[in-house]
Amino acid sequence: MTVTRQSFQFADRIPSTPSIGSTTVTSPDHVHLSFGFAAPHLFPIEQLNEAATEAITSSGRQALQYSGAGGQGKIRQWIQSRSAVHGMHVKEDELLVTYGSTQGIDLAINVLVNPGDHVWVEAPSFFSALQSLRIAGAKLTSFPIDNDGVKVELIEQALLEAERSKAPLPKLLYIMPTFHNPGGVTLSVERRIRLAELAQRYNFFIIEDDAYMELNFTGEQLPTLYSLCPERVIYLNTFSKIIAPGLRLGWALAQKEVIQKMKLLMLGGSVGVFTQEILAQLLERIDFEDHLGQLKAYYKNNRDIMVDATRQHFGSDVTFHLPQGGFFIWLAFNPGVNTTELLPLAASKGVSFVGGRSFYIGQDGLHYARVCFSYCNGEQITRGIRALAEAYKEWKSGTVQIG
């Protein structure tokens, strides 16, 4: 039988472009400052090996069953006690273990947003969340950030204006208050308090994506939005940045009714039951504070190396906020610089970064670049920033015709 190839119409909600262009460069010398990845040498490999062996040998037949052997309960208890350390006291039914926090973002959006609903985000924002919101058919409006996080006074003005003119109010605000990706900034206490008040007054939900909060280089701890307003916040966190992203385990904290709705959308039962067994064994084997201390020391040192290299090679041609935690530095070039054009030139010099455009809902962000200090080592960071500066100088002097 001859099969003729016919075009096929996929569902309208499938996006035409991936959330971010991934780099295809595989040369071993290439410096991937674009990768927002954890440092692989800091994965607790030996303890994970023991943990996996234990999960198989001592209770493999139960651990591999749909319901697992008890590790899920232990993970949940760990999350509850860790959340309490950060001032969030949650009951058993206010917690959901997710397939990374990306699934948490998607579930939270899908339980709240109908096509056409208004959702407010930061500018810049996390591209995977923007993608999920687009797929959900949300109408997006963005609010700029400064060194103290999103400008809550502009959100307040927009709410007042919408109320006055009877325009639609937002149903949801998606925000990364701590060590923002890509901005590196942290929302001030005053703004957190005001935002929590606004969510209550105007009856919208906040997704608080707190993926980097444990990677805190100063020890200064601010109240989470969830602790300020548990009725209107869905709090998300992840084991990706503190243990290993390949585990694909994260969690959501919210009021019982919200968690119940999220569960309804989570087809297939609990996520990664066996992985949870391994993680439960792991968390019993490591001293978490000690492990976290090692991560923070390494990432802080890498940040310092990146900051020094950036100051040395770019001088006053870029500005940035000094992040006090997390993975990223957000470089601001002069308006007029086009970092999308810089991408191929940088790649030819052996370095990748993420162009600012990917983090905006519209055509903005062209004169920004995100560089990540967590994945590459110090030598690579220095080499990568130097190569990026070379590419930029060539671009600026107009010696290279791009496009």
Ligand X SMILES: Cc1ncc(COP(=O)(O)O)c(C=O)c1O
Where on the chain is the footprint of ligand X (CB under 6 A)? Answer: 36, 100-102, 126, 176, 181, 209, 211, 238, 240, 245, 250
269 Cα distance to chain centroid: 24
CB of 339 to ligand X, least distance (A): 19
User: What tokens were used for 390?
Assistant: 């070379």
Closest to ligand X by CB, 230 or 250: 250
Closest to ligand X by CB, 126 or 353: 126
Closest to ligand X by CB, 359 or 395: 359
CB of 102 to ligand X, least distance (A): 3
Closest to ligand X by CB, 112 or 372: 372
Closest to ligand X by CB, 124 or 350: 124
Closest to ligand X by CB, 238 or 310: 238
Closest to ligand X by CB, 138 or 249: 249
Closest to ligand X by CB, 206 or 211: 211
CB of 126 to ligand X, least distance (A): 4
CB of 6 to ligand X, least distance (A): 36
CB of 350 to ligand X, least distance (A): 23
Q: What is the 3-state secondary structure (H, E, C) of the chain?
A: CCCCCCCCCCCCCCCCCCCCCCCCCCCCCCEECCCCCCCHHHCCHHHHHHHHHHHHHCCHHHHCCCCCCCHHHHHHHHHHHHHHHCCCCCCHHHEEEECHHHHHHHHHHHHHCCCCCEEEEEECCCHHHHHHHHHCCCEEEEEEEECCEECHHHHHHHHHHHHHHCCCCCCEEEECCCCCCCCCCCCCHHHHHHHHHHHHHHCCEEEEECCCCCCECCCCCCCCHHHHCHHHEEEEEECCCCCCHHHCCEEEECCHHHHHHHHHHCCCCCCCHHHHHHHHHHHHHCCHHHHHHHHHHHHHHHHHHHHHHHHHHHHHHCECCCCCECCEEEEECCECECHHHHHHHHHHCCEECEEHHHHCCCCCCCCEEEEECCCCCHHHHHHHHHHHHHHHHHHHHCCCCCC
CB of 209 to ligand X, least distance (A): 5
Closest to ligand X by CB, 127 or 320: 127
CB of 181 to ligand X, least distance (A): 4
Q: How far apart are CA 209 and CA 214, in angstroms?
A: 12
CB of 19 to ligand X, least distance (A): 11
25 Cβ contact list (under 8 Å, min separation 6) = 32, 347, 352
CB of 100 to ligand X, least distance (A): 3
